[in-house]
Structure 1
Amino acid sequence: MSVQVDTYKSTLNTSNNQIPIIDIGDLLDGKKEAIKDVSIQLKDACNETGFFFIINHNIDQNIIDSSFEHSEKYFSLPMHEKMKVRQNRHQCGYMPPDVAVHNDTFENRETALNTQRSEAFKFSFDLDSDDPDFGKNVRFRGFNKWPDPKVSPGLHKSFMDFHMAFQNLSVSLLEPLAVSLDMPSDYFNRFFARSSSMTRIAYYPAIDVKHDQISLPGHRDSSFLSLIPPASGPGLEIMMKDGQWIQQPVVENAVLVNTGTVLVRWANERYQATPHRVRANSAEARYSNIFFLYPDVSLLLECLPTCFSETNPKKYKPFTFGEFHAGYCERNFGYAENWD
């Protein structure tokens, strides 16, 4: 897959040095000193931008390329075929255009309601029969909806290969993240042992662009972390601390990572979740595959003891991700609340 960025016309700031680049090669090689080194860089990145690139991540490019190939094939199917696996209340399946509400956006209401041209296909883990949640109707656990393999041969394996590769990559960041927050390095591990992570395969068709039109309104992710390999084309914009939007720079062979509101709440706003959006493009369709690292749906997430004090009291009550995410889905994807 070749990422083309020179066709995108924009007056936005595109300086590469505004998004930090973190080399995690030594971390993945198991070098002990790397946890501390990466934690220092993560602390700076999560404080300043909420976005950073990781390089030397060891994900096979063939896995990424395959997922994009199957994405393009899937979204080219007739609408009636895609709707056979329409998105359910667990956020799994196909999301058609013009249905999401995005009540959590900070764009004005008119912008948010007139920018829903994108389509998406979402999935999580396929539960094995020996999983404690198998067959127990636990929300967000084990409710994937897959297209007929005769219609989309190879899609299931390709997408799950992508999902597992990015799950493994994302959890490798847990230890340095914990250290960056002055916690024991293994603190987060148990909360992600039975993760409910999700992948969103997205399609933004080329459209007749109106002035300043947005394909996905400005928002913050409801994840712990979000990981994004290079998309098939430009469009992602990131709001910096000064309120200015920048076009996402492209770093060769890097994965873009951003912090989500789960981490923000857990860390009592010690870190930030940075707003971002996708701008409409008339030149070409855009495909983007995004991995969202989610914790166990049932474990209680309480403010980290290193993140509050008498002068900085807790800003959020303890919560489970299941409850938190259910509220997020109801506000932004209410159309699917009654879909099986």
Structure 2
Amino acid sequence: MALDYASLTTLPLSYASCSLGTPSNPPPLLERLDAISAAKYSAIELSFPDILSYGETVLGHPPDPKNYDELVKVASAIKEECAKRKLGIMMLQPFANFEAWKDGSEGRKDAWERARGWVRIMEAAGTDMLQVGSTDTPLQDLDLDRVVPDLRELCDMLSKHGFKVAYENWCWSSHAPDWKDVWRIVKEVDRDNIGLCLDTFQTAGGEWADPTTESGLLEDVSKIELIHRFQASLDELAKTIPKDKIYLLQVSDAYQVPGPLSKEPDEQGLRPRGRWSHNFRPLPYNGGYLPVVDVATAVLRTGFRGWFSYEVFDGGRDGDAKEQDIVAYAQAAVGVQERLMAECAGKKFPVKK
């Protein structure tokens, strides 16, 4: 059954604050907020790195990432700046490497210190949603039996404040790279205040594409088999995830990298899909090759009509872009949303030449 186009034209739009401007040279936060506001978005995803970078403006010195008294002041100031521009703060992100640390480890101690501190930041920023990315901590450092209990405990801590967890599959995660993985975990956690942060890049970038191959695609099966397998996965997503368990859909595409990336982690331990994610994610219809429309359509087929949030890390096709007209870029994303919704509903969209 075709999607009702009218229901897709009024979806709330957000933009991830960290992803406007080239990854290597992001403009100051207030300039990005001005551009997002001018393009008439309803809200931003507030990134922790932006709290740190704006902190020097508020405090007169760079904040310590663990000094939550200072970070709360910065978050409160950002909330005021957003309010001036009629922007809400839809979510705080990205909360990484949280779940499944072994008992008694320094990683576990740090994860819970961060969790308590980020709750304070959420209160100051006026947001009720925390994005948790499926951890990419090496498996040898994890106790996977702790994934569900840790997320339950986090949900219970957040529920005391009326907050919720948006759990996202990062396609380079060591234990939950696919939507099926995080959906299974969310069902096992079984709390009212946990749902999914789905993402066109994370879904297609893990199940369709591969930045370490010449073709840029998974090559464990033929192209025809890959198409059928991916569509079967999307059909399953559309039929099995309740619409109220999807909290948002993040939208971006991906460039095919100039040459296949090494399969080995880099010096920071980041896997190839993580490196790809950080610098090669343009807006849809702007040179990428992922089946973004297919992913978005599957999510909409669940009945979800919530936040579409643009999170792009556009370093250019060769990864060396230095500048970007952020006002034009934020506005272009609005046009992308209009075309994306039309194509999800099976309508032809007039492309300007």
TM > 0.5 between the two? no
TM range (shorter): under 0.3
Q: Which has the higher strand share?
A: 1
Pick the structure with more helix per residue. 2
Higher RCO (CA < 8 A, seq sep 6+): 1
Q: TM-score under structure 1 normalisation? A: 0.24
